[in-house]
Structure 1
Amino acid sequence: MDVSLATITLTVLFAVVIYKVSKKRMQLWITYGSIPGPLERSLPILGHAMVFRGDQVQSYRKMLRVVGGIRDRGHQSGLVWMGSEPVLIATGPDAVEVLLRSSQHNTKAMFYDFLHPWLGRGLLTSDGEKWKSRRRLLTPTFHFKASELVQHRQNAPWFWWDPVYYATKRGREFATTLEILHGFTRKIIFERMQNKKTDDTARAPKKRLAFLDMLLEASDDGNVLSLSDIQEEVDTFMFEGHDTTAAAMSWTLHLIGTHDDVQAKLHEEVDKVFANKSNESSLTMDDLRNLEYLELVIKESLRLFPSVPTFARKTTSDCVIDGHNIPVGTSVTIFTQVLHLHPKYWTDPRKFNPERFTKEACVGRHPFCYIPFSAGPRNCIGQRFALTEEKVILAHFLRRYNIKAREATEQMELMGDLILRPRNGVNVDISKRF
């Protein structure tokens, strides 16, 4: 039987590819082989990706089981293979500290590449000098569908190649979703630009600008920030500043609605703050500082249900994590909820107990066992604003209403998208207090 030259060529090319992939995998295995991993076996080409398959609830549940298992076996870190990509998992605060405290490892891991079509290279996704300059610029001021699609792609290595992904139904749906989101933010930017041109009102020299106004002022007619640069930051803050805070308040209200004793203490505190106010529509910064117990409740809610369940970095130099030599270029993922439930650092970790965050209780606690806003040089730029916003909204709500959760916390199914959400939302009964 004759064998065509094309068949021989393709066979040789296939063999060469398999050889190179196998060689690379063997070299990586030698580098990372001493790091503990899941009990499930890593498959050729796919790695552990099949272990995490399922819908959003199933996938996140499996991740928590695998990562929590590594933690509970006494390891500060572990390794999973996503396709041919080794991903280090930091499961304890000592490992997290190496990654986040240093100013070296500020580069986001490759998983954030899938956010570039949506958020561009704004503050969340940029690196190097661009990130530093944007951070300095924005520090003074401070989408559910797209999130779901990005998270699905991150967990499926077979969709990491753009031509394959955008040929699928999900890829086309993602592209359509981005057109809607980007069209909305462009509309906001252009409307504000037009308003600024017709606004002749004098502004006090020291008055702080609103976020978008500050970007437009800094743009210098496109010489410093282009319209594309401005849109990247607006898209980023629409996502980071809205979805995260909304999720945090939803979880907080659920937990308040399942603990009558906590709700009673909150009503007492809020009533005391509002007692001598003639205008209940306004709260001063002094009023917010006096809402001490409400702040404890918010912090404990963020411990149990951090708005961002995972984030990742890429090592930019060789380092040692949990006694293992980790080479430059390694992707490292932190599962915030697993860290926040670490039994070594939290007594009865699944219990809702706001008193964990009194000044006395925080003494001696590992600084990296609680990181709802990340930590270190690349922590959340808007964390103070987020806590203030949540206190204002929750205080006004609690002043007027009682709340009762319809579901027990353990009945709620978690979806680990880019934002941590319950599958069926937060269902509560609300009644007027007076």
Structure 2
Amino acid sequence: MWQSIIRDFWIFPMILIVYGIWRLRNYLRAVKLILTLNGPRIVPFLGNTGYLYDEDLLKTMSHTAYTTYGSFFRLWVTAFPFVVLLEPRDIQQVLSSTKHTDKVLFYKLLHNFLGKGLITSDVSTWKSHRKILQPIFHVNVLEQFVRTFNRSSKTLVKCLEGSGELGVDITRTVNDSVYEILNETILGNKKECEISNSPFRKGQLLFSYRLTRPWLLLDWIYRRTSHGKREQSHRDDLSLACERVLKSAGKSNSISLLELMVEAQGKHKDFSNDDVRNECCTFMLAGQDSVGSALALTLFMLAKHKKWQERCHEELTRIFGEGQRDPEVSDLREMRCLEMCIKETLRLYPSVPFFARTLGEDVKIGEKIIPKGCGVLIMPYSTHRLPHHYPDPHDFNPERFNSENSSQRHPYAYLPFSAGPRNCIGYKFALLEMKSLISAVLRRFHLDVAPGREEISPKFRVTVRVKGGVWVKARPRDHSGGKNLEYCR
């Protein structure tokens, strides 16, 4: 009898062990694969998360990652194994497939920074919302926002008038102009607002903080910390800000993404007010840092590379003559040289230096099989500088993006807005916005780099930042029609 009881007692834990192994089978397969791959040195418990604090991480990603580890290597994020893919043909296998659209679990740590909308949502929510929101970002809708772009361009130009001989850090000025645009085009708020008091400008990114303290990955612990409580308070402020605007929806004749989403609710009953609020937060939060960074860095690159600055100005003169009229969407489309300069800046300094996916099925890369459920990291900052896709990859050469060169390049060698079915829904909006703001500056000013600020030092964050800011000098142009030969060298 006792032998039977003892035998039965051991059956239950054995069943639990077998069940646990079955549930962890893909994780164990991923670990087995990871142990065969090359990669940077790891630290117990933290893995490679310490690299998030490395001031030279972007330099490492762009200069030595490929030559040191190859196109396919491993990283540990605490106890979670990731495979890094740098080669476009391998990246295409993941990003082009609808089977690999799930984001890795760490994206939930970005809700305070990116919102709970399209970027961070689960697959089922993303599919539903993307289908609803895609028509809202049609170019015919975006055309209606050009007037807002033009108004904010004038504000930016006015702020640059007093840059002086020492130049000015344009980071905050540019971000304020971007916020002004988003405030009106997304929320429909035309009133002047106190930017510094906006909850959309107060978020604190705690992604790295939590990753380097693995116990804080457990929400029930993190929520009880001072950081967790502040983050929840900030989320509440964001929700209230969107709720106030949502209550006024339909009372204005102006068009905004919020108004269009409210209209979409009439056709899609499962698109709730909470969904509208989440998407508004995402567009407001994600649109600021990414566009602000790209805008400031493009102005800097044009200040540094006078030949391209003057080519862009000549293009603008062909479009507008010597007049000072505001651009229309047809004018923005004609700014092909400026678009090439923006794209080349985003190649060198993609606003989002990395992103990740969870595999929905096994993927074969070379002779290796990456198992279903494994996290895959994509690093545009590295891929954009592969010399066999971009000769002299560290040089600023916008000709890479003329029609001939673009057509010959692998489509997944350029990823500033991601690629495939889960690419950035707002990339056309962003390009029109940047063209409008940059063209207004170039029509009014000669740009120079500020003395002692000729080089920039990008630092690794969820979006690329520049240590010490982005400094330029802005000198009024001579609108007499004469050509300043000094800037044609």
Task: Give the TM-score normalised by structure 2.
Answer: 0.74
- Equivalent residue number for residue 346 of structure 1: 390
Distance change >3 Å, CA 408–CA 161, structure 1 → 2: farther
- Equivalent residue number for residue 177 of structure 1: 234
Structure 1 residues 300-337: Cα deviation after superposition (integer angstroms, max 9, x where no partner): 01101111111111001111124321111111111111
Please, which moves more after superposition, 304-313 or 184-193? 184-193
Paired residue for 1:102, among 97, 110, 120?
A: 97
What CA distance in whole angstroms lies between the structure 2 residues aligned with 1:158 and 1:408?
Answer: 43
Task: Give unpaired runs (5+ residues) of structure 1.
Answer: 1-16, 202-208
Higher RCO (CA 8 Å, separation ≥ 6 residues):
2
Question: In 2, are the aligned partners of 1:258 and 1:404 still within 8 Å (CA)?
Answer: yes
Question: Does 2:209 match 1:163?
Answer: no
- Equivalent residue number for residue 379 of structure 1: 423
Superposition pairs for residues 246-265 of structure 1, below 5 Å? 246-265=292-311
What CA distance in whole angstroms lies between the structure 2 residues aligned with 1:224 and 1:185?
Answer: 19
Question: In 2, are the aligned partners of 1:76 and 1:94 still within 8 Å (CA)?
Answer: no
> The residue matched to 1:186 in structure 2 has which SS?
helix
Shift of 1:287: 1.7
- Equivalent residue number for residue 83 of structure 1: 78
Question: In 1, are the aligned partners of 2:100 and 2:358 still within 8 Å (CA)?
Answer: yes
Structure 1 residues 222-256: Cα deviation after superposition (integer angstroms, max 9, x where no partner): 94322211101000111222322121111100111
Task: Give the TM-score normalised by structure 1.
Answer: 0.82
Paired residue for 1:138, among 124, 130, 133?
A: 133
User: How much identity, in percent, do the aligned residues show?
Assistant: 32
What CA distance in whole angstroms lies between the structure 2 residues aligned with 1:425 and 1:144?
Answer: 17
> The residue matched to 2:205 in structure 1 has which SS?
helix
What CA distance in whole angstroms lies between the structure 2 residues aligned with 1:250 and 1:53?
Answer: 23
Distance change >3 Å, CA 175–CA 229, structure 1 → 2: same
Question: Does 2:412 match 1:355?
Answer: no
Question: Does 2:237 match 1:237?
Answer: no
Task: Give unpaired runs (5+ residues) of structure 2.
Answer: 1-16, 138-199, 479-489
Question: Does 2:323 match 1:321?
Answer: no
Q: What letter matches 1:378 in structure 2?
A: R
Question: In 2, are the aligned partners of 1:319 and 1:325 still within 8 Å (CA)?
Answer: yes
Q: What is the number of residues matched between the two proteins?
A: 396
- Equivalent residue number for residue 49 of structure 1: 49
Shift of 1:412: 2.2
> The residue matched to 2:203 in structure 1 has which SS?
helix
Distance change >3 Å, CA 431–CA 183, structure 1 → 2: farther
Paired residue for 2:37, among 13, 32, 35?
A: 35
Distance change >3 Å, CA 394–CA 430, structure 1 → 2: same
> The residue matched to 2:240 in structure 1 has which SS?
helix
Paired residue for 1:269, among 307, 312, 315?
A: 315
What CA distance in whole angstroms lies between the structure 2 residues aligned with 1:419 and 1:182?
Answer: 23
Please, which moves more after superposition, 316-325 or 248-257? 316-325
Shift of 1:121: 3.8
RMSD: 2.9
Question: In 2, are the aligned partners of 1:115 and 1:150 still within 8 Å (CA)?
Answer: yes
What CA distance in whole angstroms lies between the structure 2 residues aligned with 1:144 and 1:63?
Answer: 25
- Equivalent residue number for residue 217 of structure 1: 263
